[in-house]
Amino acid sequence: MTKMVYMFDEGNSEMKEILGGKGANLAEMTNIGLPVPYGFTISSQACNDYYNSGKRIQEEVESEILEALARLEKATGKKLGGTVNPLLVSVRSGSVFSMPGMMDTVLNLGMNDQTVEAIAHLTDNPRFAYDSYRRFIQMFSNVVLEIDVFYFEQHLEKRREAKGYHSDPEMTAEDWKEIISDYKGIVKKHIRQEFPQDPLEQLFLAIHAVFDSWNNQRAIVYRQLNKIPGHYGTAVNIQSMVFGNMGNDSGTGVAFTRNPSTGEALLYGEYLINAQGEDVVAGIRTPHPIETLQKDMPEVFSQFVEVCNRLEHHYRDMQDIEFTVEHGELFILQTRNGKRTAQAAIRIAVEMVKEGVLTQREAIGRVEPEQLNQLLHRRIDDKYQKNILAKGLPASPGAATGKVVFDPDEAEQLHIEGVKVILVRSETTPDDIHGIIASQGVVTSRGGMTSHAAVVARGMGKSCICGCEALKIDMQQQQFQVGDTVVKHLETITIDGGTGEIIVGEIPMIDPELSDEFGLLLSWADQERTIDVRANADNPEDAKKAVEFGAEGIGLCRTEHMFMEADRVPIVQQMILAETEEERKRALDFLLPMQESDFEGIFQAMQGLPVTIRLLDPPLHEFLPDKEHLAVEVAKMQILEPDSPQLADKEKLLKRVRQLHESNPMLGHRGCRLGIIYPEIYQMQATAIFNTAAALESKGITVKPEIMIPLVGHVNELKIMRQLVNDTAVAVQNKTGIPIEYTIGTMIEVPRAALTANEIAAEADFFSFGTNDLTQTTFGYSRDDAEAKFLKDYIENKILPDNPFAVLDQSGVGALMKTGIQLGKQTRPQLKTGICGEHGGEKTSIEFCCLQGLDYVSCSPYRVPLARLAAAQAAVKNELQKRKLSIN
Ligand code: ADP
Ligand code: MG
Ligand code: MG
């Protein structure tokens, strides 16, 4: 049978899967000679066996536990339940991934009516003995017998007050003795049984309870949040007790070897004199900063500093350490890699390289790419008190203050007038885009982190909170309500999209400070990565941001936003309503100079870096008013103002809107299908690109346009569009006499394109995988519908591992990408390949793209630093794997 129980000197830090993080590190510290109270660890496999056998501890495991207990008793010279020298232990949970505070621990186990007397006698400190016993009853009752601590604490407080005390240390031995008797009464009342007196029974009950705590509600939620699989189980550590509550020469505390919020290389921690483990975190007494321990216990302090240095060097990472001092003797009870903010993670990684502890490559792996998000946005200054009204999903980081508006048109209007607004909607649709652009931030009461509003806001680096269900929006009254608080139209609120917090009023904010360490770490990352990082940017501001964050080009410049600006919509509508080609051309002639100015700003911002421009993609009805709205308006006019000169126009518009209406726009007349039926549109766009390029080239500014045709499914579509673009280029060159270098490629975003990539590559200089549409067309999901209706259930019930619109589905969509690349390169070995879906900014998807040998990933400007880091991590991991393979 597999060994299930390990003494501390039988394990080491590599055995986390078996012993859990806490157990493995206790073993490691024991082996390197640190003062760790002795004990043993029951493996997490025993936990799984426990669950598999219907919550029973197998006999073999039980006898291993008893054997280990005997060894512990021998090593300490104490006996569990002994009346001369009783052994007291803690029973501590600890799984492979640290889940701070999520599972249970029991201290002082082994206390009963007899052993407490022995301890009182032995220590000559009855107060301490009774205090420890009452703590045990309270903790055991809570964790094992499931009696709420409230009953005990309420009682304790009453007694304390009755005695006129302010805090626990004032309680005497006699006081505790009385409390113990009362506590036993509380237990009996709740479970109709006496508090268990047999220490062995206590031990096994506690082990059961710790196993059970693996599946308590908060542990389950924590695992879901942090994507920790449920199959690991928790190990259980049985450790002999040391006591920080033995008097003023005793104490307990927690310290980080460096500051976990700034990263500064200074010990950071807290302690309490005459207290036991839990007291520090429980917040009953205010702990002292670790520095004052130097005064309180100079010798212990210098010894502790030495231990900290040693542990940090040993683990080569910042440590989070628990310690206890018993009669002036220091004991270490836990160490783990400390959790830290992004800022601290970066500073610590860079400084550890400077200290010679880490290599640059290792430092790259020490920062979680997703964390970088915290650093790139304005945030609320923590110095200020904030009164949180409600909390939603932190969908797009950054903080914003503005006046509440409920209507996107109004948001736009106020924005023009220079008023800062926050758009509050029950949900957002693509129609709201102009309102989002005009707002400082967006709040929705429905929808998740990948909802449309969130995606759009993240793309723009705009603060967004989604799914804030506490928010009851009343459009009629123009207000929203949370509980009893009503917030009216145009009242000021502050939102923090990094935390999901909504606050009434204005709160001061701080700008992101990008440290030198941040730049340095990313420059190291750039040396490692094998894939380029570009940005998706539709306007000069975004393009500038992208360059600032290190983008090496634009991977996707969408042109539809350019058509949606307020002053252009009427012209765009004219173009759409045109009945003749002539009429359409006239409208397009108006749009041409506008498009030229768009491209000019972007090309200039990119300073000679490549810019992939996608020609118009969405169906035309998106530029027209809503069908239902318009129908109502026309009907009203027909009755109320039948002579109005505008009626005919409106009727015409409605007719066209009806004509263009599609039952399934996602699969309708869009992408290159538009370009084929209305070639004048693409021709105008291409002319604008080439005119601008020529004008800039003549000023000595290098321009690298890459023209991208969307939604190609058959090579013939691309062939026609390519011809059109080439002809346009020739026409412009003939006119200007300036040669322009450009390439023409396509998006691969329907399965047929990937499957016939060998044919399509004959007409394409590059492929860009549009994985948003490719995911829609591969799964046959419409994203908006899927995310609004069933995807959440799918993920909760593990039908899908992740939202495929956020995390690339490697086995389906990814397989099509592989096929596309392989077939495409058969025809055109030099074919350039990239990804421009939102996946281009997601860690695991980036890793996949690196492995497939794509030339670049493209993501929103604000995710560029993240992508640079993730790409470097993927490259390092990939190389390490290759090296491993070649060794084996
Ligand atoms: P958590 O995972 O919630 O931190 P722990 O198992 O680490 O739970 O224990 C909670 C507290 O009890 C910690 O402060 C720890 O240092 C203290 N503690 C645990 N075991 C012992 C022991 N054998 N002697 C003294 N204190 C202990
Ligand atoms: Mg702990
Ligand atoms: Mg698309």
Q: Where are the beta strands (DSSP E) in 338-398?
A: 379-380, 388-391, 393-396
Amino acid identity of residue 641, one-letter, is E
Beta bridge partners of 494: 401, 503
> For ligand 1, is residue 324 a contact (CB within 6 Å)?
yes
Higher pLDDT, 479 or 270: 479
Asked whether residue 248 falls in the same domain as residue 238, the answer is no
Which tokens in the block code for residue 389? 């009204």
Distance 600 CA to ligand 3 centre (A): 24
Cα–Cα dist 207/756, whole Å = 60
Confidence of residue 281 (pLDDT cuts 50, 70, 90): low
CATH number for the domain that contains residue 133: 3.30.1490.20
Do residues 243 and 276 lie in contact, with contact meaning Cβ atoms separated by under 8 Å?
Answer: yes
Last residue of a domain, one of 242, 268, 290: 242
Cα–Cα dist 113/198, whole Å = 10
Nearest bound ligand to the CA of residue 614: 3
Measure CA 645 to chain center.
55
Q: Where are the beta strands (DSSP E) in 340-382?
A: 379-380
Look at strands 379-380 and 509-510 and give their pairing.
antiparallel
pLDDT at 836: 95
Closest CA to 569 of 452, 670, 653, 680: 653
Per-residue model confidence as pLDDT tens digits over 680-738: 999 999 999 999 999 999 999 999 999 999 999 999 999 999 999 999 999 999 999 99
Q: Is residue 612 classed exposed, middle or buried when 0-12, 13-18 and 19+ CB atoms within 10 A define those classes?
A: buried
**Three-state SS annotation for 769-795:** ECHHHHHHHHHCCCHHHHHHHCHHHHH
Q: How many domains, the chain? A: 4
**Model pTM?**
0.82
Asked, for residue 656, whether it belongs to a domain, the answer is no
Q: Is residue 676 classed exposed, middle or buried when 0-12, 13-18 and 19+ CB atoms within 10 A define those classes?
A: middle
Task: Scan for tokens 């007038």, then name that residue.
Answer: 417
Percent of the chain with pLDDT over 70: 97
Q: What string of DSSP letters covers 572-629?
A: HHHHHH-SSHHHHHHHHHHHHHHHHHHHHHHHHHHTT-EEEEEPP-S-GGGGS--HHH
Asked, for residue 172, whether it belongs to a domain, the answer is yes
How many other C-beta atoms can be found within 10 angstroms of the C-beta atom of residue 141?
Answer: 23
> With 90 as the cut, is the pLDDT of residue 384 above it?
no
Per-residue model confidence as pLDDT tens digits over 619-653: 888 888 888 989 999 999 999 999 988 999 899 88
Asked, for residue 840, whether it belongs to a domain, the answer is yes
Sheet holding 479-482, edge to edge: 472-474, 479-482, 485-488
pLDDT at 696: 96
Alpha helices in 644-714 (DSSP H): 646-660, 672-677, 679-698
- For ligand 1, atom 12, the nearest C-alpha belongs to 277
- Lowest pLDDT segment from 157-161, 321-325, 566-570, 734-738: 566-570
Closest CA to 411 of 444, 443, 435: 435
Which tokens in the block code for residue 818? 């592989």
Cα–Cα dist 292/696, whole Å = 66
Higher pLDDT, 457 or 52: 52
State which residues have CB under 5 angstroms from ligand 3, the bound ion.
Answer: 749, 770, 773
Confidence of residue 282 (pLDDT cuts 50, 70, 90): low
Question: For the chain, how big is the Rg over CA atoms in Å?
Answer: 33
> With 60 as the cut, is the pLDDT of residue 5 above it?
yes
Mean pLDDT of 572-601: 92
Confidence of residue 102 (pLDDT cuts 50, 70, 90): confident
How many other C-beta atoms can be found within 10 angstroms of the C-beta atom of residue 673?
Answer: 16
> For ligand 1, is residue 245 a contact (CB within 6 Å)?
no
Mean pLDDT of 96-117: 89
Amino acid identity of residue 700, one-letter, is G
Percent of the chain with pLDDT over 90: 74
Cα–Cα dist 429/784, whole Å = 9
Last residue of a domain, one of 451, 478, 510: 510
**Measured CA angle at 315 (ends 314, 318), to 5 deg:** 115
Asked whether residue 361 falls in the same domain as residue 388, the answer is no
Beta bridge partners of 487: 480
- For ligand 1, atom 17, the nearest C-alpha belongs to 277
> With 80 as the cut, is the pLDDT of residue 814 above it?
yes
> With 80 as the cut, is the pLDDT of residue 166 above it?
yes
> With 80 as the cut, is the pLDDT of residue 546 above it?
yes
Asked, for residue 633, whether it belongs to a domain, the answer is no
Asked whether residue 704 falls in the same domain as residue 716, the answer is yes
Distance 259 CA to ligand 3 centre (A): 45
- For ligand 1, atom 22, the nearest C-alpha belongs to 241
Which tokens in the block code for residue 131? 């205090």
Kindly state the DSSP code that residue 125 receives in the 8-state scheme. -
Distance 33 CA to ligand 2 centre (A): 20
- Lowest pLDDT segment from 169-178, 278-287, 341-350: 278-287
Confidence of residue 314 (pLDDT cuts 50, 70, 90): very high
Indicate the SS3 state at residue 888.
Answer: coil
pLDDT at 285: 65
Mean pLDDT of 768-774: 97
Indicate the SS3 state at residue 331.
Answer: strand
Asked whether residue 95 falls in the same domain as residue 75, the answer is yes
Do residues 557 and 538 lie in contact, with contact meaning Cβ atoms separated by under 8 Å?
Answer: yes
Closest ligand 1 atom to residue 276 Cα is: 26
> For ligand 1, is residue 234 a contact (CB within 6 Å)?
no
Asked whether residue 151 falls in the same domain as residue 20, the answer is yes
Confidence of residue 752 (pLDDT cuts 50, 70, 90): very high
Cα–Cα dist 406/494, whole Å = 15
Mean pLDDT of 744-773: 98
Cα–Cα dist 217/228, whole Å = 14
How many other C-beta atoms can be found within 10 angstroms of the C-beta atom of residue 753?
Answer: 29
> For ligand 1, is residue 92 a contact (CB within 6 Å)?
yes
Asked whether residue 404 falls in the same domain as residue 358, the answer is no
Asked whether residue 216 falls in the same domain as residue 250, the answer is no
How many other C-beta atoms can be found within 10 angstroms of the C-beta atom of residue 434?
Answer: 18
> For ligand 1, is residue 95 a contact (CB within 6 Å)?
no
- For ligand 1, atom 8, the nearest C-alpha belongs to 105
Mean pLDDT of 753-766: 98
Kindly state the DSSP code that residue 169 receives in the 8-state scheme. G
Distance 181 CA to ligand 2 centre (A): 30
Cα–Cα dist 259/257, whole Å = 7
pLDDT at 461: 66
Amino acid identity of residue 807, one-letter, is V
- Lowest pLDDT segment from 309-323, 363-377, 544-558, 707-721: 363-377
- Lowest pLDDT segment from 194-208, 387-401, 672-686, 841-855: 387-401
> For ligand 1, is residue 334 a contact (CB within 6 Å)?
yes
Nearest bound ligand to the CA of residue 708: 3
Do residues 535 and 861 lie in contact, with contact meaning Cβ atoms separated by under 8 Å?
Answer: yes
Closest CA to 660 of 670, 671, 650, 651: 670
CATH number for the domain that contains residue 499: 3.50.30.10
pLDDT at 732: 97
Asked, for residue 523, whether it belongs to a domain, the answer is no
Distance 319 CA to ligand 1 centre (A): 16
Cα–Cα dist 192/205, whole Å = 17
> With 70 as the cut, is the pLDDT of residue 794 above it?
yes
Distance 540 CA to ligand 1 centre (A): 55
Amino acid identity of residue 180, one-letter, is I
Higher pLDDT, 794 or 569: 794
Q: Which phi and psi (to 5°) does residue 474 adopt?
A: -120, 100
Confidence of residue 515 (pLDDT cuts 50, 70, 90): confident
> With 60 as the cut, is the pLDDT of residue 670 above it?
yes
Residue to substitute in 8, 105, 330 for testing ligand 1 pocket (most ligand atoms within 8 angstroms of CB): 105
The whole domain housing 584 covers 528-619+662-887
Q: Where are the beta strands (DSSP E) in 181-233?
A: none
> With 60 as the cut, is the pLDDT of residue 450 above it?
no
Nearest bound ligand to the CA of residue 277: 1
- Lowest pLDDT segment from 110-124, 569-583, 689-703: 569-583
Distances (CA, A) of 503 to 383, 392, 462, 464: 15, 12, 17, 13
Distances (CA, A) of 523 to 374, 459, 624: 19, 24, 46
Closest ligand 1 atom to residue 37 Cα is: 23
> For ligand 1, is residue 235 a contact (CB within 6 Å)?
no
Closest CA to 362 of 374, 370, 372, 352: 352
Confidence of residue 416 (pLDDT cuts 50, 70, 90): confident
Asked whether residue 405 falls in the same domain as residue 371, the answer is no
Asked whether residue 830 falls in the same domain as residue 763, the answer is yes
Distance 819 CA to ligand 3 centre (A): 19
Cα–Cα dist 705/559, whole Å = 14
pLDDT at 452: 62
CATH number for the domain that contains residue 596: 3.20.20.60
Asked, for residue 652, whether it belongs to a domain, the answer is no
Nearest bound ligand to the CA of residue 770: 3
> With 70 as the cut, is the pLDDT of residue 431 above it?
no
- For ligand 1, atom 20, the nearest C-alpha belongs to 90
- For ligand 1, atom 1, the nearest C-alpha belongs to 101
Per-residue model confidence as pLDDT tens digits over 16-71: 999 999 999 999 999 999 999 999 999 999 999 999 999 999 999 999 999 999 99
Cα–Cα dist 219/222, whole Å = 5
How many other C-beta atoms can be found within 10 angstroms of the C-beta atom of residue 505?
Answer: 12
Closest ligand 1 atom to residue 242 Cα is: 24
- Lowest pLDDT segment from 76-80, 247-251, 747-751, 877-881: 877-881
pLDDT at 512: 77
Asked, for residue 650, whether it belongs to a domain, the answer is no
Cα–Cα dist 445/426, whole Å = 5
Residue to substitute in 234, 237, 333 for testing ligand 1 pocket (most ligand atoms within 8 angstroms of CB): 333
Confidence of residue 433 (pLDDT cuts 50, 70, 90): confident
Do residues 554 and 611 lie in contact, with contact meaning Cβ atoms separated by under 8 Å?
Answer: yes
- For ligand 1, atom 9, the nearest C-alpha belongs to 105
Kindly state the DSSP code that residue 317 receives in the 8-state scheme. S
Contacts of 628 (CB under 8 A, 6+ apart): none
> For ligand 1, is residue 250 a contact (CB within 6 Å)?
no
Nearest bound ligand to the CA of residue 712: 3
Amino acid identity of residue 216, one-letter, is N
> For ligand 1, is residue 90 a contact (CB within 6 Å)?
yes
Length of the chain: 888
Closest CA to 746 of 707, 778, 782: 707
- The overall average pLDDT reported for the chain is 92
Confidence of residue 386 (pLDDT cuts 50, 70, 90): confident
> For ligand 1, is residue 242 a contact (CB within 6 Å)?
yes
Higher pLDDT, 500 or 716: 716
Q: Please state whether 165 falls in left (phi above 0), alpha (psi between -120 and 50) or beta.
A: beta
pLDDT at 118: 96
pLDDT at 597: 93
- For ligand 1, atom 18, the nearest C-alpha belongs to 277
Q: Which phi and psi (to 5°) does residue 821 adopt?
A: -65, -45
Asked, for residue 522, whether it belongs to a domain, the answer is no
Q: Which residues are catalytic?
A: 452, 836
Relative orientation angle of helices 126-143 and 113-123, to the nearest 10 degrees: 150
Asked whether residue 35 falls in the same domain as residue 72, the answer is yes
Last residue of a domain, one of 314, 345, 376: 376
> For ligand 1, is residue 278 a contact (CB within 6 Å)?
yes
Asked whether residue 727 falls in the same domain as residue 615, the answer is yes
Task: Scan for tokens 């309500």, then name that residue.
Answer: 481
> With 60 as the cut, is the pLDDT of residue 283 above it?
no
Per-residue model confidence as pLDDT tens digits over 331-358: 999 999 988 888 899 999 999 999 999 9
Asked whether residue 577 falls in the same domain as residue 435, the answer is no
Indicate the SS3 state at residue 241.
Answer: coil
Closest CA to 509 of 521, 501, 517, 520: 501
Task: Scan for tokens 């967006």, then name that residue.
Answer: 442
Do residues 747 and 709 lie in contact, with contact meaning Cβ atoms separated by under 8 Å?
Answer: yes
CATH number for the domain that contains residue 287: 3.30.470.20
Residue to substitute in 104, 107, 250, 339 for testing ligand 1 pocket (most ligand atoms within 8 angstroms of CB): 107
Distance 779 CA to ligand 3 centre (A): 14
Nearest bound ligand to the CA of residue 771: 3
> With 80 as the cut, is the pLDDT of residue 263 above it?
yes
